[in-house]
Copies of this chain bind each other. A is one copy, B any other.
Amino acid sequence: MNGRKVSEAVVRRLPRYYRRLELLKRKGVERISSSELAQQMNLNPSQVRQDLNCFGGFGQQGYGYHVSTLFDEIANILGLTQQYKLVIVGAGNIGQALVQYEGFRQQGFMVVALFDVNEKIVGSEIAGLPVLHVDELKQFIEENNVDIGIIAARRSAAQDIADTMADAGIRGIWNFVPTDVTADVPLENVHLSDSMLVLSYRLNEQGEK
C-alpha cells in the first residue's frame, strides 16, 4: 500500500471481495475478468477496476485477475497474514457465540480470554478459555499484548469497557453492544439490526402485506 487514503466505501467492500475470491478459489477458478467478478458481486465493472486500482491494480488487460494472487493480495491488505490476540468482555450468548464463530481462527483471530462480572461464571472456562473478572481486564491486556477487544456486555457498561481497553493500549475495538461507543483507537460498531431493517425494506418493496 502506498499510504494513499482509501475511501470508507472501498474499505467496506474489501471483505466482500475477500469472500468472493475465497469462494472462487475453493471452486478451482483460476482467473476472472472484472466484468464477471462485478456481475457476481452485483457491482459494476468500472467500480471493481477502480476499487482494486486503489491497492495497486492487480489486473491485466485481456486476462483479468488471477484469482489466488488477488485473494492473497487482499488478505494481505486486510491484515490477515498476521495473528491477532483477542479478548471478549461479556460471556453471555453473543460472547459465547463469537468464541465459537467458525472462520475467525483460520483468519488469524485468536480469542485468549473472556471477561465478565458475573461471579457464577468468573473462574470457569468456556470453550477451553478462562473467564476472568472485568477488574483484571486492564492488566491482562497490558501483560498479554492483546490486539483487539470485543465488547459484548450490557449496554450501560459498553463505554467504560472501551475506555479501559483503550487505556490499556489495545489496538482496536469491536463493539457488539447496540449503542455507538467511541475511543481513540480504530473501532467498529456492529449493528446487527441494520441488515434486518434492509430485509424489512425488501418485504415492503415487494408490496402487499
Residue positions of A touching B, CB distance < 8 A = 1, 6, 8, 11-12, 14-16, 18-19, 23, 42, 77-80, 82, 84, 92-94, 96-98, 100-104, 107, 109, 147-148, 155, 171-174, 178, 180, 186-188, 190-206, 209
Contacts and interface: CB of A to CB of B under 8 A. Distances in A.
A98 B103 CA distance: 20
A101 B18 CA distance: 29
Most buried by B among A16, A84, A191, A197: A197
A198 B92 contact: no
B206 A15 contact: no
A186 B197 CA distance: 12
Contact of A96 (B42, B82, B93, B174): B93
Contacts of A187: 199
Contacts of A172: 199-200, 202-203
A1 B20 CA distance: 33
Given A15-B193, A194-B15, A200 B100 contact: no
